[in-house]
Structure 1
């Protein structure tokens, strides 16, 4: 009670910092629970569950970028020691120049884990392959192959933007219809295939093979 007879205001408890080990355990529990829910018959969620692996890889790449830059400036050897791999392997997988030889968009490298949804949208749009897809990425010049149809920047930014798309709907709304379809994994792949098929030259109709002596002298059959 205060001197005026009013109850004393409650003191707010200081926020208790959550250790990363607790975060790790929590994420693992959620992931296992998610897997059980999908296994219980939700086949439509299977693709979303599989995409989590690419999101973890992309998030790790941004976390490494933050550790390399900013006030920390950890070396590749220090990062590799924590990952249990060699310096060269860590740099090839999480560096700004992946094993493919292409360079990650500087906006991702410089922002690291502090990247905004608006920046993700810009990078996603700049590196979008298009419909039909060009032979090289319009944003970085990465040459597509039969097995790799997305540049490293696009492959990194897509899962992150998909998960965070609701944080800045105004920025996401700037994407085109084809870009939005690609973000959600819709039928854009079939659109590209149909577009490529339409540009291919059509073959002339096969000539009929005569089945009798009479057909061989019939101009309608042999012409």
Structure 2
């Protein structure tokens, strides 16, 4: 074996490629381009991929929850008010949707705190925070409750809808803050699946466990106006 006669001092070391830091706005734009490209690929006839594409919304919700969890921890320790402000929702809605897993799908704290004394303004805000939207999302935007097939009510919405429908004339200004889609859904008396009825009944029991259910018309029917 021949002896290595190359002098290390005369042989330049290979340069290490500097790591390029990608700013979050650039990364955000990159992700959006990927999503649009994916949609275009599905649009040219790949109907089987449509389901996978639609399920990305659930993935976004899951990774947003991870991001929020990181922002809540030290050394950042952002408050729920600060996080809710960036998400464009109320503090309670942000906390219920992205907080501890045991809170997801639980009855909104604003209802538990006020009980029978809940105001129409609070009912309106809670209903708006938990409304599934149009088209309906796969999970509740207010608490993260995953809707079963054929159901677009989380326990909170199932509880609030009949109460707010009956009491809407008590505060016209508060009700006017609902979007047209939310208001139309509030007045809808379409029959709901047995699963939806069970969710509504269970939610009502959690709200007022020591009162008879006959206090309110849980069938969703309006009293004569």
Q: TM-score normalised by the shorter chain: which range applies?
A: 0.3 to 0.5
TM-score by length of 1: 0.42
TM-score by length of 2: 0.42
The structure with more radius of gyration: 1
